[in-house]
Structures are given as structure tokens and as C-alpha cells.
Amino acid sequence: MFTQTAHNVQNYKIEGRWRILFLVMTALLILPVLIILTLLIVRGGPAISWEFLTAFPIKGMTAGGVFPALLGTIYLVSLALVFSVPLGIAAAIYLSEYAPDNVMTRIINLAIINLAGVPSIVHALFGLGAFVIFMEFGTSILAASLTLAIMTLPVVIVATKESLQSVPQAFREACWSMGATRWQTIRRIVLPNAVSGILTGVILEVSRTAGETAPIMFTGAAFFLPFLPESVFDQTMALSLHLFVVATQVPNVPHDLPYGVALLLVAIVLLMNALSIGFRVRLRNKKKW
């Protein structure tokens, strides 16, 4: 029978204290989120209805629904994903699989990391100058989506690069020994085994893109439009900007309306994240290593 020594007992006590400390820290992180969600559900839940989701704002945006803003948010997020995900994955493949380890590559990696920390208002001014004025896209869905894509591109690149590098080098060497080219190895072995990690970057991008206000305010979002956009060169409403407007700019707004818009925005982000996480878990479970 195993007999615990005084040293083992002391180690177990220390381990227990650290476990309690980490549990408390985790609870302190989760508790504010639960409080915020509860507040949004209690105060914003009464505003959610079918009419709220499908109607246009009326009476100076003090009544009606948020359908144009909801549709505009979907447009902006989807188009930003179309622009940023392929480009980000391609850049990550080059940096991880093709680029030599030299000074220029290190500078590029440092620039990508620094770009991820640039404030969103700076990206907004860049999008205004580059896409709205220089490329003459005007204030439009296209200009706003490109601005959001540039802003979230570093997240996709970093997440994809880390995921590619997590694939064992033995997988590549086995393919090369069978006569496969580098691109064939990347396309058929490396990328399929890195998809779950790539989706992590996509999840983070969706969360940030849906909630940004400053970039779209400067480049393509409108306070109010009585019609739906017909092309990517039209302006659109967005939930994040609509929330800012009804919470700070419109007088006599019903108390539950801003909370309802916020609850809907959070619900969309959570739904998109849940779908992506579910798909990622399914792919991860298929791994053989």
C-alpha cells in the first residue's frame, strides 16, 4: 500500500491552492459575461419579435424593426470574409511553407503582428482614403467590407500560420518521399489537417467584424436608409451603427429598443461562432494524430 510522505502531502496542498486560484480567476472572467447576457435578455428580450426582425425602422427610428440593419450586417460580414479569408490563407501558406527564414520574412511577420494592434479608427481613416476616395468606390458596402477585411486580415494570417506549423513535419516528408510536389503536399495533406485551426481565425474575424462601428461609419454605413441596397456600391445600415444611433442620437427611444438591438447583435455573433466551432470540432475529431 502506497504511503504518502510529508513532501507529497505538502505538494497536494499547494496544488489544491493553485487549482482554487485558477477556478476563481476563471469564474471572474465568466461572471461579467453572464451578467451582461442576463441584462440583455431581461431588458432586450421584450423587444424581440417577428416584426422587430422583418420591419423597417419608423417614427424616426423610435419604433418598427431592424431588418435593413440586420441584412446590412450580414452583407458586410460575408463580403469581408470573401476578401480576407482566401488572401489570409494564401499569405499564411507562403510564410509558413515557402518563405525562407531571413530578415525580410521576419519584418513581414512583425508587420502583421503590429497591424493586428492598430486601432479600428485608424483602419477607418485608411479605408476612407484608400477605398472611398482613391479607388472611388464611394461610401458603399464594397468600401466598408474591404476596410473590415484589411482590419481582420492579420487575425486570419496568424491563426492559419500557427495551424499549418502545428501539422507534423513527418507528414510532409512522407509525401515528398513518395514523389509529391510541395503544393500537392500542402493541398492534400497540410491544409486538410489544419482546417480546424484555420476556422479559429475565421471565428475571431466574424466576432470582430460584426461588432465594429468606426470603420463602417466612415466607409459605407448609413444612419438610416428607407430602402435596401441593390448592389455593393450602395450604402447600407448595420446593427452596430444602428445600436449607437438609437442609444445616443435619437430622442424618446423606448427603453428596451437599444437592448433589443444589442441582444440581436450578440445572438448573431454567438450563432455564427457556434456553427463554426461545431464544424471545427467535427473536423478535429476526424484527425488520426
pLDDT band of residue 139 (cuts 50, 70, 90) is very high
Q: Return the pLDDT at 140.
A: 93
Tell me which residue has cell 479605408: 127
Give the residue ranges of DSSP H helices in the chain. Answer: 6-44, 50-54, 67-93, 103-116, 120-127, 141-165, 169-177, 182-185, 191-211, 214-219, 239-248, 256-285
* Span 27-41, average pLDDT: 91
Mean pLDDT computed over every residue of the chain: 88
pLDDT single digits (tens) 148-160 = 999 999 989 988 9
Tell me the C-alpha distance between 276 and 132, whole Å: 32
CA distances from 19 to 6, 26, 30, 284 (A): 20, 11, 16, 28
Burial of 144 (0-12, 13-18, 19+ CB in 10 A): buried
Q: With CA atoms as reference, report the closest residue to 39 among 287, 194, 255, 283.
A: 255
* Span 52-65, average pLDDT: 89
pLDDT band of residue 167 (cuts 50, 70, 90) is confident
Lowest mean pLDDT among 33-37, 185-189, 282-286: 282-286
Which residues make beta-bridge pairs with 57? 64
Sorted by where each starts, the structural domains of the chain and their CATH numbers stand as 68-284 (1.10.3720.10)
**Three-state SS for 221?**
strand
pLDDT single digits (tens) 101-137 = 889 888 998 888 888 888 889 999 999 999 999 999 9
pTM above 0.95, yes or no: no
Burial of 84 (0-12, 13-18, 19+ CB in 10 A): buried
- Grid coordinates in use for 208? 470582430
* Span 15-20, average pLDDT: 90
pLDDT band of residue 281 (cuts 50, 70, 90) is confident
Tell me the C-alpha distance between 61 and 165, whole Å: 50
Helices 141-165, 191-211: axis angle to 10 degrees equals 140
Q: What angle do CA 174, 176, 182 make, to 5 degrees?
A: 125
pLDDT single digits (tens) 40-52 = 999 999 989 999 9
Q: Under a CB-based contact definition with an 8 Å cutoff, are residues 198 and 111 in contact?
A: no
Tell me the C-alpha distance between 168 and 166, whole Å: 6
Q: Return the pLDDT at 24.
A: 93
Q: Return the pLDDT at 288.
A: 58
- Grid coordinates in use for 273? 461562432
Q: Which residues fall within 8 angstroms of residue 59, CB to CB, at 6 or more apart? A: none
